[in-house]
Structure 1
Amino acid sequence: MKYQHTVGGFNYVFSDLKAVLAKATPEKSGDVMAGLAAQSEKERMAAKLVLADIPLKHFLEEIIIPYEEDDVTALIVDTWDQQAFESLSHLTVGGFRDWLLAYETDGDRIKQVNLGLMPEMVAAVSKIMSNQDLILVASKIRIVTKFRNTLGLKGHFSTRLQPNNATDDPKGIMASTIDGLMYGVGDAVIGINPVSDSAATTKTLLEMMDELRLRFDIPTQTCVLSHITTTLDLINDHAPVDLIFQSIGGTEKTNTSFGFELKTLDEAYQAGKSLNRGTLGQNFMYFETGQGSSHSANAHHGVDQQTCEVRAYAVARQYEPLLVNTVVGFIGPEYLYDGRQIIRAGLEDHFCGKMMGLPMGCDICYTNHTEADQDDMDNLLSLLGLAGCNFIMGVPGADDVMLNYQSTSFHDQLYIRQVLGLKRAPEFEAWLHHMSLIDQKGKMVEGKTRDTHKLLYL
């Protein structure tokens, strides 16, 4: 089906819904490189105007990646909830934006419809929203998950402690972990990206982190972010696996490039349920995503990178994850060229993840060859704090020496807490107080107590 609109005296014609979605997208270098982006701001505006007038129900009729060719499309279509969609079925994309922004539409009302939303509908509405719109609507939505603590509560903000090491040295990882705990980092997860994906290395790190957690009764969860097949082998080997991790994408070909199929996630989910390691809840899956993954794998089917990203969220929500985060600037300037594009993508991903019912966090990051700096990351951190982001990363010095990219530091989470008055997960906050690391008001305590010193002698 063709679409058209006149802007500035020129009639713009779009071949199909996929083209409208791509050309309505705010400029991203990945879409430009793939030949999908609008050729001018006038064409982009024409596409936005067309998109705003498309009925939401039309997305059920014009499927952008064929059902028979893609198992993610099959999952999206097969799990779509008609009853949840019913109250929105009369709206256009523009009308949906108005509904989201209305005072009367609160977070609970939005959560009631999220199973009726196809990811393409969510991507579409985000494309006609300003940054301010994305922040406002996302701030309404709270997605609460539980494993050994409670994440996502209003007025709370969590961090993943990321103690990566360039050689997987256990002593170096432990030193960074202790340093992070001293700053009150780690309530979302203590999560290590291993250099090696060997089962032996992963098991050593899992056992070390589990010993630390048990010795000091830390109310958090640990994860070594190995490939999901490695984690499945370690579950069978009785390793202390808390969270099951995998990077995911929005098309079958993307996930195949990551080395797994949807049935692998099904198997992992069942294995995790059998472990029953959570004390407060059983949300144990952890997913990472990022705009550009389908493009970098040449697996996008002509779909823009942001719509591919939201399709990944449809995969994630099937498994009731504890954590989902977009690693927003990690792939590089080929997909998000500069600070402006990274900031926009971070706000889009957070909004769309929340709209899909996910406990959305963000690795606020960039590579050293990107036209961005730490001030851009400070800006995105501040905006995501206002938007109600569930969690960010805590990396020593904001410089990951293993993955070679820039992220957020232990100090950055102190900044956003002070500015917005945000607390950690309540169980973790109570532990920090018990260890004399924070005072009654939640502020970090200068100096170390006798109990805190015990951590230094592991």
Structure 2
Amino acid sequence: MTRRRAALGGHTYEFADLRALLAAATPERSGDVLAGVAASSEQERVAAQGLLADVALSTFLDEHVVPYDEDEVTRLIVDSHDAEAFAPVASMTVGELREHLLRPSTDTTALAAGLTPEMVAAAAKLMRLQDLIAVGRRTPVVTAFRSTVGRPGTMATRLQPNHPTDDPAGVTASIVDGLLLGCGDAVIGINPATDSPQRTTELLHLIDDVRARYAIPTQSCVLAHVTTSIEIMERGAPVDLVFQSIAGTEAANSGFGVRLELLREAHEAALALDRGTVGTNCMYFETGQGSALSADAHHGVDQQTLEARAYGVARAFDPLLVNTVVGFIGPEYLRDGKEITRAGLEDHVCGKLLGVPMGVDVCYTNHAEADADDTDALLTLLGAAGCSFVICVPGGDDVMLHYQSLSFHDALYARQVLGLAPAPEFAEWLSTMDLLDEAGRVRELPAAAMRTLTAGVR
């Protein structure tokens, strides 16, 4: 480990190792303060950012923020690094990588396999919001199952019809509501109130029946634990996407009850079902800054760097979808709208630079210093940044998980204002169902389509 020093304003700042330097260079957020790793002042943060800009990218291949021998995530990152893809930037520093990524001529997608999570996290720490937006927009990641997600000019949505008791009628009503408003092209995904094999299977059949009845080109997911998904796949349940929450350290993933080998088993089982029509990406991961810290599994690393490491886990399994639930853990980790906004844009660009199909749950808990103006702003910025998908719930209020997210109408706003379209297969289905007008906009409560889609709903 190398100590690094910087003199600024008559004071000398010293950072014991790369881990400490990365933490001190991170724009302020409450989680790093809680963990005791944040810069003690803005002056120290500026000094750390100056030092970080001069760190050679090759340093990250030798100096690990979480020890190689102690952590399977570190081993995955190091052992899967592509030296050939890294070659074009191998001689650069972090600051030079930032400048390289901002050049319009740079093919950012070609670098993905050559960049480590720590490299992209470091570059993001040196970016202002407009940099994060510009780089994210120029780094599309396209995946497919029954619909194609991530194409430039599109923004897909996860239709999240959660219900506090998993009531079939309530879930179905929410699904219909979302479909009528043009949502659900990324996935129709339910957080179950009870994570049991029986309930998970029942909910999967419910979604699959709706999807098959109306030939909807989308995929279903019940966000049960990966072990539940493996069990019900063996029983013949209609599993499209296997879901799992993941984090950036082995210890944090153990807190979620998963290891990399378990994820590999689930991935292979889902591939074997061969349920996709336009692609084979069949995994869905959720992440969020602060998850490792909340599990006391952060190893003294700042939460943004650990979040990027979670994307290093995700990309090993060729997922269809990955999203950060950016404000869900609470103000202990992201205190207010400003911190949530910064984190959402950081997460989006870091995932994209690593080749991960990034979406964002634009959300906050009711005890955070945030409100709907903050979600409006972040949604708009993410739409400009080329975000692959966002999550939408009826009315923007999740009645099961008790947090505030986006509504179906918010997705319509973003698509209309920013000129974005749904996933192409889903847009064609909406048109076939007479849910779009001649300009490609979702119609206002089309009576014929309403009668068709609500037939049989009780």
Place the TM-score, normalised by the shorter chain, in its bin. over 0.9
Deviation by residue 1:241-284 (Cα, 9 ceiling, x = unmatched): 00000000000000000011111000001001100000000001
Whole-angstrom CA distance in 2 between matches of 1:180 and 1:392: 13
- Structure 1: unaligned runs, 5 residues or longer: none
Task: Identify the residue that residue 440 of structure 2 maps to in structure 1.
Answer: 442
After superposition, residues 316-327 of structure 1 pair within 5 angstroms as 316-327=314-325
Task: Give the Cα–Cα distance (whole angstroms) in 2 for the partners of residues 88 and 303 of structure 1.
Answer: 25
Question: What does residue 408 of structure 2 align with?
Answer: 410
Aligned to 1:265: 263
Distance 1:113 1:380 in 2: 27
Q: Is the 8 A contact 2:145 2:276 kept in 1?
A: yes
Quote the offset at 1:113 in angstroms.
Answer: 1.4
Question: Is residue 2:135 matched to residue 1:137?
Answer: yes
Partner letter of residue 8 of structure 2?
V
Q: Check the 8 A contact 1:93/1:124 in 2, yes or no.
A: yes
RMSD (CA atoms): 0.8
How big is the shift at 1:365? 0.2
Q: Distance in 1 between matches of 2:40 and 2:24?
A: 8
Q: Which aligned segments of 4 or more residues in structure 1 are displaced greater than 3 angstroms?
A: 449-452
Percent identity over the alignment? 58
Q: How does 1:102-181 map to 2 (within 5 A)?
A: 102-105=103-106, 109-181=107-179
Quote the Cα distance in structure 1 between the aligned partners of 2:438 and 2:143: 25
Alpha-carbon offset, residue 450 of structure 1: 3.2
What is the distance in 1 between the residues matched to 2:49 and 2:334?
20
Q: Which amino acid aligns with 1:373?
A: D
Instruction: Write the deviation string for residues 321-373 of structure 1: whole angstroms up to 9, x where unpaired.
Output: 10000000000000000000000000000010000001100000000000000
Whether the 8 Å contact between 1:149 and 1:426 is mirrored in structure 2 is yes
The answer as to whether partners of 2:77 and 2:312 remain within 8 angstroms in 1 is yes
Which string of whole-angstrom CA distances, capped at 9 and with x for unpartnered residues, describes residues 5-33 of structure 1? 11111010000000000000001101100
SS at 1:174's partner residue? helix
Matching residue of 2:54: 53
1:400 counterpart residue number: 398
For residues 444 and 378 of structure 1, the distance between their equivalents in structure 2, rounded to whole angstroms, comes to: 20
Question: Does structure 2 retain, via aligned residues, the 8 Å contact 1:163–1:177?
Answer: yes
User: What is the CA distance between 1:123 and its match in structure 2?
Assistant: 0.5
Alignment of 1:29-44 (within 5 A): 29-44=30-45
Asked if 1 retains the 8 angstrom alpha-carbon contact of 2:23 and 2:39, the reply is yes
Counterpart-to-counterpart distance in 1, 2:23 and 2:430: 47
Deviations 1:22-61 (A, max 9, x none): 0000011011001000000000000000000000001111
- Alpha-carbon shift at residue 448 of structure 1 (Å): 2.8
SS at match of 1:56: coil
1:70-81 equivalence runs, <5 A: 70-81=71-82
Partner of 1:86: 87
Instruction: Please say if residues 94 and 125 of structure 1, whose CA atoms lie closer than 8 Å, have aligned partners that are also in contact.
Output: yes
**Unaligned runs of at least 5 residues, structure 2:** none
- Name the counterpart of 2:212: 214
AA paired with 1:444? Answer: V
Q: TM-score, normalised by structure 2?
A: 0.98
Greater displacement, 327-336 / 52-61: 52-61
Distance in 2 between residues matched to 1:151 and 1:103, nearest whole Å: 23
Matched, 1:341 2:339: yes
Distance 1:185 1:374 in 2: 20
SS at structure 2 position matched to 1:129: coil
Question: Residue type of the partner of 2:204?
Answer: L
| 2:63 is equivalent to residue 65 of structure 1 | no
Give the Cα–Cα distance (whole angstroms) in 2 for the partners of residues 261 and 53 of structure 1.
35
Letter in 1 for 2:219: Q
Q: 1:452 Cα shift?
A: 3.8
Q: 1:114 Cα shift? A: 1.0
Distance 1:137 1:446 in 2: 35
How many residue pairs end up in the alignment?
A: 455
Contact 2:435 2:449 in 1 (8 A): no
In 1, Cα distance between equivalents of 2:153 and 2:336: 31
Q: TM-score, normalised by structure 1?
A: 0.98
1:17 maps to what in 2? 18
